[in-house]
Amino acid sequence: MEYSTEKRLRHIALAARLILSGVFIYASWDKILHPAAFAEAVFNYQLLPAQLINLVALILPWLELILGVLLLSGIWVSGAVLGINLLMVMFLAAMIINTARGLNISCGCFSTDMTSSGLSGWVVLRDVFFFSLSAYLLFVTTQANRLKKQPECVYTVNGPI
Amino acid sequence: MTRDAQYHPWIRSIRQLALIVLAAAAIALISNHFRPEPLPLVGNWSPEARLISPSGRQIAISQDEAKVLHQSRGAVFMDARPLDEYTKGHIQGAISIPWHEAEQRVMDVTADMANDAVIITYCDGDSCNLSKDLALLLENLGFSKVRILVNGWTLWQNAGLPIEAGN
């Protein structure tokens, strides 16, 4: 009985890991290809000082790609999970602030196309879902660390990779 | 068990993350450097610099220039804000072209205007894009001297320049 529960939790962690890594890798691609358009999206959020906009627009997509690849490959998972959680908190805060401001801007989440979906309750809800996955992985990682296990073990169904 | 696991659980994560961020920054800056058109690391995001027309023309106009053109009646002012805001108050003599019916209104208004007439569009607030959208529409229709007065309504009022209300 205990075995099956543990196995189910591992399945959930593995699914969360696959979904999140896919989302992050997919989200990074269009932005890496079109930095100027993504900078425009970052500017439209009106949260960053002008000096930082281009740097963030250049580095953030690569950070997303690397975090996604690490999470997928099982290398440095605890660092990647922490990074993904911090990014999700930042993304959510940025969206909620601008939804509250009533700003009609494009999300810039998966596409740099300015006519793509704007911020809305559904976009925020989507990110809440992703954040719940990443928060679960963070919980699992810390648990594994507390048990002095390699966290990588927890993400696969059949023990360490 | 690696030596890593002896650390406090968070320390390993934070150390890994720091290296991940550094790697991302390095790759981003290097790949940007070798792009055909690198993005400048610090961009100019001032309202004026953002207003470049597709033909590369600087289309923002300064308040002083706009004031001179207004006094000499050398330019047509177009108000891109919604009609109710226009009715409450606008630059004296400005024509209302609310963005949602811009195409039709522009056709009506510009029917007998020369292509080289000076047109100044404005709306309100640094981040208001309506005046830019309107200016680009006008340029597409062949008007070659379209300018934008960034944050026009607020600037005009603050400077005590002539305004009027109503339709």
With CA atoms as reference, report the closest residue to A55 among A38, A67, A33: A38
By CB atoms closer than 10 A (0-12, 13-18, 19+), residue A82 is: buried
- Summarised one tens digit per residue, pLDDT across range B62-90 is 888 899 999 999 999 999 999 999 999 99
- Does one domain contain both B53 and B23? no
Mean pLDDT of chain A: 86
How much is the pLDDT for B139? 87
- Summarised one tens digit per residue, pLDDT across range A83-125 is 999 999 999 999 999 888 877 677 888 888 766 667 778 889 9
What are the DSSP calls for A27-94, one per residue?
HHHHHHH-HHHHHHHHHHH--S-HHHHHHHHHHHHHHHHHHHHHHHHTSSHHHHHHHHHHHHHHHHHH
- Does one domain contain both B107 and B157? yes
Q: Return the residue of A nearest to B42 by Cα.
A: A51
SS3 assignment, position B145? strand
- Does one domain contain both B23 and B73? no
* Tokens of residue B149, six digits: 């007065």
Does residue B139 belong to any structural domain of this protein?
Answer: yes
Sort out which chain A residues have CB atoms less than 8 A from B35's CB and list them: 35
Backbone angles phi and psi of B142, in degrees to 5: 110, 0
- Does one domain contain both B7 and B76? no
- Confidence class for position B58, pLDDT limits 50, 70, 90: confident
Domain count, chain B: 2
Q: Which residue bears the tokens 């220039």?
A: B65
- Domain ranges, ordered by start, for chain A: 2-155
Helix axes A77-101, A2-33, angle to 10 degrees: 60
Residue A7: how many CA atoms within 13 Å on its side-chain side? 5
Does residue B41 belong to any structural domain of this protein?
Answer: no
* Cβ–Cβ gap B9/A78 under 8 Å: yes
- Does one domain contain both B160 and B121? yes
- Does one domain contain both B74 and B101? yes
Q: B25 is in which domain, residue-wise?
A: 3-33
- Summarised one tens digit per residue, pLDDT across range B117-130 is 999 999 988 777 88
Q: Return the residue of B nearest to A103 by Cα.
A: B127
pTM for this prediction: 0.67
In the predicted model, is pLDDT for residue A126 greater than 60?
yes
- Confidence class for position A159, pLDDT limits 50, 70, 90: very low
* Cβ–Cβ gap A150/B27 under 8 Å: no
Does residue B40 belong to any structural domain of this protein?
Answer: no
- Confidence class for position B1, pLDDT limits 50, 70, 90: very low
Query: What distance in Å separates residue A43's CA from the closest CA in chain B?
Result: 8
- Does one domain contain both B66 and B8? no
By CB atoms closer than 10 A (0-12, 13-18, 19+), residue B145 is: middle
* Cβ–Cβ gap A63/B127 under 8 Å: no
Does residue B93 belong to any structural domain of this protein?
Answer: yes
The one-letter code for the residue type at A53 is: I
Suggest the residue from A24, A48, A62 to mutate for an interface test with chain B (most B CBs closer than 10 A).
A62
- Does one domain contain both B11 and B61? no
CATH number at residue B112: 3.40.250.10
